[in-house]
Each structure stands twice: as C-alpha cells, then as structure tokens.
C-alpha cells in the first residue's frame, strides 16, 4: 500500500519541485500521472518539461494522444491510461483513498501562498488519513525539505 506525500510549496515554484520529484519517480521505475484540474495548467507544465536541459529530459505527453498508454509521464485531468505507479496531484486535483492503496506513491503539491490551495490540501489530508491512508507532510519553509507531520495508514 502506498502513501500520500503532501508538498507545501513556499520557496520554489511548482515546475521546479515537480521536475525533481519526476526525476526521482522515473529513476524508481514508476510510470507517473500528473493530474490537474485544468488543461491550461497542464499545458503550462508540459511546456516547462520541454524546456529542461537535454541531459535531464523527462519523456512525457498530454492525455488525448495516440500513445497515452506508452507515456512514462502523462499529464491529464482524469484517470490516466499509462498504468501509473505514482499520481501527482496539482492545483487541488482529487485523489481518492483507493488510489493511494493502488499506487507506489501519491504526491499532492500545493501552493503555500494561496489560501484556497492550502484549504484544499487540508481537506485532502483529512479525507485520506480518515480513510486509513498513510500520509506525510513535507515543508520547505526552512529552505530545504523537511517532514513535519506523519499519519500512519491502517
């Protein structure tokens, strides 16, 4: 059973943190689904991923293409068809408790400077931990990532 890791972004922008987490996920051998609420956000992240240096390119695609199932990283607003082992939620995209149990890891990235994003992340934490999912809360407020809270799953 996987865990949900919550990343409270206060120092680095989403695309920087996302790139690091995606590199680690791909190195672990996981296919990844990046789930957002809007196509506009996913298009922006897609563009950012293409801007990476050649030696750190992360193969990816946006949902709706001919090869979605073969994508190591798929950006989507819905259920991913690339058989992911990791789901990354951005802009408050919903994660169901059952998904946490099916994945190697679920990551929830949220903007610590936006009160609405903070509230959505708090609700996601409550929902997932109340359902028995293991969860860890990571903060970068000190300038480096530190785990600040943990809830063991059942």
Tens digits of residue pLDDT in 20-54: 999 999 999 999 999 999 999 999 999 888 876 66
- pTM for the whole structure: 0.93
Q: Residues 18, 34: contact at Cβ < 8 Å? A: yes
The model's pLDDT over 107-145, given as tens digits with 9 standing for 90+, comes to 999 999 999 999 999 999 999 999 999 999 999 988 899
- Exposed (0-12), middle (13-18) or buried (19+): which is 57, by Cβ within 10 Å? exposed
- Res. 151 pLDDT band, cuts 50 70 90: very high
* Average pLDDT of every residue of the chain: 93
Give the domain 3-151 fold. Rossmann fold (3.40.50)
* Residues contacting residue 30 through CB under 8 Å, at least 6 positions apart: 84, 85, 86, 104, 105
> Strand, coil or helix: what is 137?
strand
All structural domains of the chain with their residue ranges: 3-151
């Amino acid at each position: 059973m996987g865990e949900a890791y919550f990343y409270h972004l206060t120092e680095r922008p989403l695309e920087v943190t996302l790139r690091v987490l995606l590199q680690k996920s791909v190195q672990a051998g996981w296919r990844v689904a990046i789930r957002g609420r809007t196509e506009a956000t996913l298009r922006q992240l897609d563009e950012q991923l293409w801007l990476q240096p050649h030696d750190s390119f992360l193969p990816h695609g946006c949902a709706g293409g001919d090869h979605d199932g073969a994508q190591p990283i798929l950006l989507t607003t819905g259920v991913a068809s690339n058989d992911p082992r990791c789901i990354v939620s951005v802009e408050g995209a919903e994660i169901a408790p059952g998904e946490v149990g099916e994945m190697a890891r679920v990551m929830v990235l949220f903007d610590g400077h936006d009160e609405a994003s903070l509230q959505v992340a708090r609700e996601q934490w409550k929902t997932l931990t109340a359902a028995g999912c293991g969860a860890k809360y990571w903060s970068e407020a000190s300038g480096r990532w530190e785990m600040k809270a943990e809830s063991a799953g059942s």
